[in-house]
Structure 1
């Protein structure tokens, strides 16, 4: 066993500090004022830099050419240090890095002296006799831990031991199963004593384990540790001070969420059932789209399961069309488009040895090799033995893109569903090309799904250069958000899955993956009972990825109308989702630029409220809407804790509640408990039924006027890359209460909006407006609601909703809406 205990030598190279200890070497790099890299190797020398995960570096890297369109090179901060005897200090504007000489250890503090991270000295960095690497950190009773990518159970992961490893976990228990599909070795620590947040990312793609205080020894202070099976301890400390700051800084490092197509926010139909029919699967899918329209259920696409690839032997062969089920694939894709629906076909990176294309890939050396590099490695897969495409090999990437173009993308398909890409290869010594450097698969397994997503993105862009790809991935590593939307795999059909999939999604959002969801209604198991299905849809409409998908084991198919007496609840929920599309699209723009999750834990928005430290099931959508879904069978009431720091209003009745209290509301089967906060700004489109075909002619904006705030409404064409050239419209809507109520609309960009009519619903709970002005123009007040509805411009005060409804033609330039709430003295007049 090797343990770093004592500094032997310090060498300052100005943009990094090199430290030699009795056991390991270290490089300390101050990447910016909030990110510190601590690279540790127990080898004689550091290996060449070669990271697929990072998009911000301050050094040359072997992947610079591959990632040239994504990666930014920055200049590191000087590592000039101050020697204080027992330790030396490196400083940025925001943090100090204290490096202790003996016993060796690193401590990071803010400028007020608050300890943000502290190594467990005397065993901080360890390599055991099996080659495993350990990093031990001090832990306090007041520490709470969030993130860790896709993990089952409650949001706070304190006293949990979790494994990082991609697995095909069909039918998993969303409270207990570990690991799942994603491998993201990143977490956020929030100390409730000083209310400071920080994060740690381990840029290591070997299988690993996090122990967050589960282990305990009386000989040491309380600690947590990270253990990796190989590689280096390449640690990035990420400063806050708030959770949202940590997420922003982490996504600066590993990439922001890809700006999605707008239609991806629609309902995406799916089921394995249709593609397993003996024939005419194409007709079944087209009829599904027609049935949605008949039922008044909006739908914008279909995730097509892999049955479309089934060969004569009943096995699935990627890139192969079954022509009994799909007689004319190109015509089928075109008909779907005509109906306003995109097709996202399922593809898999494992190719059975009986695959018609197997020999072509094998002879090209495009598969992962066995440990002797003599043959393509095979392993268990769906349908038998298979080899796996090596996406770290240019030959593998080239062949994959060739067949992806020929079989799918050339047909007009620009949405790709990457599935079963966990790369469960049991021979850990199987060899990957690794851009010519050769490396065992055990160190690259979670990288493969990221590169698979990148290849789908590049393929679509090469065939249709100005079309925005829509890629969905099941597995992934840190940085997967740059390429793909994800979902939480093959969940089990149960009330528990409905409930615990929420913190799974919330934790993934805190780990940089803002665009994700789960299979609504449950994938594996029997058809959901009607009440469970309704509640699941009512929750699913708030997930960025909203798809009802099933592989029911009782010969049934989960469809929105499968229980006719409950269809109205399904319809109402999905229509609510479509009303919120302008809000969601703006939030995904925020994710693409700031890294912020769409579904947010309450503690993310209200870090001062200690009652939220353990909250796992209620969540925010953006910073304005709190959702408290009904998650229990037969519920008649729902208790909701409303966070301190805001006044809260029932979405439907507008009843006001002070934050910091628990309320109990009555619920029916149609209830979706929602609350908006003081200062809320929420854009809504009432008439949207198909994102592909319907333009947003009228825009409603809910504004709660009692608190100053702002929100960026984002618009573009939703499908092309023209937004990269300035064809977007960012409207910053601000509430200013300095002298009356001013709603400011400040616009940026060249996109010509489709919005012709604006309706501002200004919630004024204490006093009705006396007058409303649009710039210098006084708008007419209507006492009669019908007269107001018939007018093109003016305002009306809804007494029951306490809302001033203000209508006017949209204005292209910047403008201000004035809402004058001075009390009119009728008596003295």
Structure 2
């Protein structure tokens, strides 16, 4: 009877191990060690468990092979026990965490948690392959549709400028460009994520009928289902699949000053001098573009601008003078006469320096000629226009080798500390469809477009790691793709316009980016283009915007002030001590440095436990429905609730965009929602407030609402001028009572990769709120130069005590700690 039914169904038994449907009809299904293969609807479907919580689904047109090697995925399938069965016509596969049902007739796939709760559906007949000629290579447009719950909230898709946290009910064209980082990845409030492994321009669509990814070119439909149970679990799964984030050096967490651009070594070094003179903390200064000279010499990766090498007036070098600069200007005798001297001077001032390197080359450069000979230039127009500049092909391993070799020889060997990899989308001007036919090492540019930043960052990171272990890699880059965290890559939100409306959008952009599992992100403080303020740093309305944006920056993973020429945004451009803008900027710079022990320990959690620094409220309060789409506040680490002020309260502008000041004594207010499920303590006042309510918080110009979750231990660092000026041998521990608390203080050598070999220490602390007991556990680990003895000053926060940005003068208790457990009754 069974054989008759098989013949009637018209299916072929492909192996001895067969999965039978419940009605007795055997389907054309082959069982593999950790999944199945089946042929249906003109395509071959593969389902494979990569782990108990990760499933790969891989579909190809029938009889079409696809030897794909993912650029994103680093995990190989681990041995995972999988049970197989039947449910009606469907084949079932189950690990200990998730269940998968495959309909061999329609190609539809259902994903469930271990309790049988449906999570996601790959729609019946939802996979489409449309033949497509990709620059002469037969391929396909690939579309995959899914079914979500009606009210399901999803996040992710990279960094979009829509101002929305919830990515439902919209259509987005995912092609990387300035300010838009496009990642075909969704993170559901139901505790799962979906990554569509395709690098070509892709249309994301969500409507009441379905959600879909529609990619311009691909040989297969290839996606990964990641189940985490909650948001932290999802992000842990993403890092497991795509790579962990290495630890940045401590100095990167301090304050960075930048401008488009410092035009000479003297100008750059004078900024460092001024900060040290004013005693405003600074850890980094950034050299932007054109140290190489004119546009034709774009990104030569050499200091050829005559002002940088003391060659003004020398005909051999004057040809490199940047476009528009006065050839006859008399700058006098420079104090700093070479790039090496500039870098050394910055280091002597206990600061670090980062430099801009682009993903393109001008026709005068040696790299242009070398890349062209290698056929590793992409021949379409990029920034700057009409200069003959072309992007390079980072998909070519030899091109990546050449790229680093030039960086190392001409810049890194001088002592450079970090890299600003700009325009890694790359910039694409006068876009034409035929531009995407441009060949790369891995096929058409269309096929790999969105992975350009991933591969460009990969080349620099891997080569610097191979060169030295003494200096941790730090890459600041304008574009990104899934998995880029493994390359020590930090993205910012691009060249955004300086307006209140744009500032508001950045928070939603950053929250969604973080929920893609990439932990390091920031935004230009004050915005980049100050056009709406007549490019006038003295415009008082611009002062208010810059101050509010800057305050928010103290609670971003990287704190970097940057703006477009002619606006200069160093602190002294905003007045002097006693002026409200200057004082507010100074206050939050100092505050940033007091938070370094907390932030560095949180960064270790990112590296060691797949943690997150920017945490949308849904991560910590998933049961509070009010926070699921909240785009006005977030958690900074697990303890701080941050509510940036994104409205003008103290200035106004006339129709000519001139700014005027209002009455500063009339204090404005802003709404703050305190999530349910916790008690909250006002960081500035120590006042305790119940969760689950919206309050109106007074926000004088120097106050941004910050709350600490009751049940927190906050290590309060010393007042310093740079991150390593003082050892952490006399830390204050602020205890925020109202619930039990835990915190682990992490320390190492603050640079180099010895931590990967176990050279670090952790000190776990626990607060028992009922017994009012603080336990400081045994120190674990060791490293060269570690503190063997230190003092902890403990203070229990309450109104007027241990709150705000100042130092306490009295403590509840102080203890000398020598690495052994201490129990303190408070």
Q: TM-score, normalised by structure 1?
A: 0.83
Instruction: Mark the CA change 1:762 to 1:124 in structure 2 (over 3 Å): closer, same or farther.
Output: farther
Distance of 1:643 and 1:164 partners within structure 2: 33
> Cα deviation per residue 1:596-620 (whole Å; 9 max; x = unaligned)?
2211111111101011011101111
Distance of 1:805 and 1:348 partners within structure 2: 53
Question: Is 1:392 equivalent to 2:395 in the alignment?
Answer: yes
Distance of 1:470 and 1:755 partners within structure 2: 29
| 3-state SS, counterpart of residue 184 of structure 1 | strand
Distance of 1:755 and 1:687 partners within structure 2: 21
Native 8 Å contact 2:301 2:411 kept in 1: no
Instruction: Mark the CA change 1:677 to 1:357 in structure 2 (over 3 Å): closer, same or farther.
Output: closer
Distance of 2:490 and 2:819 partners within structure 1: 33
Distance of 1:255 and 1:234 partners within structure 2: 19
Partner of 2:729: 697
Alpha-carbon offset, residue 36 of structure 1:
0.8
Alpha-carbon offset, residue 587 of structure 1:
1.2
Native 8 Å contact 2:421 2:476 kept in 1: yes
Distance of 2:240 and 2:746 partners within structure 1: 21
- Residue in structure 2 matching 1:226, options 186, 210, 213: 213
- Residue in structure 1 matching 2:66, options 23, 47, 52: 47
Alpha-carbon offset, residue 420 of structure 1:
1.1
Question: Is 1:352 equivalent to 2:362 in the alignment?
Answer: yes
Alignment root-mean-square deviation, CA? 2.3
Question: Is 1:735 equivalent to 2:767 in the alignment?
Answer: yes
Alpha-carbon offset, residue 251 of structure 1:
1.5
Instruction: Mark the CA change 1:740 to 1:693 in structure 2 (over 3 Å): closer, same or farther.
Output: closer
Partner of 1:644: 676
Partner of 1:816: 822
Distance of 2:110 and 2:644 partners within structure 1: 42
Question: Is 1:706 equivalent to 2:710 in the alignment?
Answer: no
Distance of 2:250 and 2:243 partners within structure 1: 20
After the TM superposition, which residues 517-536 of structure 1 pair with which residues of structure 2 at under 5 Å, given as runs? 517-525=522-530, 526-527=535-536, 529-536=542-549
> Cα deviation per residue 1:341-398 (whole Å; 9 max; x = unaligned)?
2111101121122334322222233334xxxxxxxx3433314233322222222122
| 3-state SS, counterpart of residue 335 of structure 1 | helix
Instruction: Mark the CA change 1:325 to 1:648 in structure 2 (over 3 Å): closer, same or farther.
Output: same
Distance of 2:467 and 2:107 partners within structure 1: 55
| 3-state SS, counterpart of residue 167 of structure 1 | coil
Partner of 1:673: 705
Bigger drift between 103-112 and 24-33 goes to: 103-112
Partner of 1:556: 567
| 3-state SS, counterpart of residue 178 of structure 2 | coil
Alpha-carbon offset, residue 678 of structure 1:
1.4
| 3-state SS, counterpart of residue 714 of structure 1 | strand
Native 8 Å contact 2:100 2:111 kept in 1: yes
> Cα deviation per residue 1:732-772 (whole Å; 9 max; x = unaligned)?
22223575524242432113534854334342769x9xxxx
Distance of 1:264 and 1:7 partners within structure 2: 60
Native 8 Å contact 2:297 2:362 kept in 1: no
Instruction: Mark the CA change 1:22 to 1:461 in structure 2 (over 3 Å): closer, same or farther.
Output: closer
- Residue in structure 2 matching 1:495, options 500, 512, 520: 500
Bigger drift between 671-680 and 690-699 goes to: 690-699
Question: Is 1:112 equivalent to 2:115 in the alignment?
Answer: yes
Distance of 1:817 and 1:562 partners within structure 2: 49
After the TM superposition, which residues 610-621 of structure 1 pair with which residues of structure 2 at under 5 Å, given as runs? 610-621=625-636
Question: Is 1:298 equivalent to 2:281 in the alignment?
Answer: yes
Native 8 Å contact 2:40 2:105 kept in 1: no
Alpha-carbon offset, residue 98 of structure 1:
1.0
| 3-state SS, counterpart of residue 662 of structure 1 | strand
Bigger drift between 100-109 and 730-739 goes to: 730-739
> Cα deviation per residue 1:545-586 (whole Å; 9 max; x = unaligned)?
11111114xx33222121212211100011101110111111
Partner of 1:543: 556
Bigger drift between 308-317 and 601-610 goes to: 308-317
Partner of 2:375: 365
Partner of 1:401: 404
Partner of 2:813: 806
Distance of 1:358 and 1:640 partners within structure 2: 53
Bigger drift between 580-589 and 462-471 goes to: 462-471
Partner of 2:196: 202
Native 8 Å contact 1:699 1:759 kept in 2: yes
Distance of 2:742 and 2:678 partners within structure 1: 15
Q: Which runs of 5+ in 1 are unaligned?
A: 1-5, 59-73, 170-179, 191-195, 217-221, 276-280, 369-376, 769-785, 790-795, 797-803, 821-829
Native 8 Å contact 2:301 2:406 kept in 1: no
- Residue in structure 1 matching 2:41, options 12, 19, 22: 22
Native 8 Å contact 1:12 1:80 kept in 2: no
Question: Is 1:244 equivalent to 2:222 in the alignment?
Answer: no
Question: Is 1:138 equivalent to 2:140 in the alignment?
Answer: no
Native 8 Å contact 2:297 2:363 kept in 1: no
Native 8 Å contact 1:344 1:413 kept in 2: yes
How many residues are treated as equivalent by the alignment?
A: 723
Native 8 Å contact 1:146 1:156 kept in 2: yes
Native 8 Å contact 2:248 2:474 kept in 1: yes
Partner of 1:775: none
Bigger drift between 139-148 and 43-52 goes to: 43-52
Q: TM-score, normalised by structure 2?
A: 0.84
Q: Which runs of 5+ in 2 are unaligned?
A: 1-24, 133-139, 311-337, 651-667, 802-806
Native 8 Å contact 1:733 1:744 kept in 2: yes
- Residue in structure 1 matching 2:786, options 740, 744, 753: 753
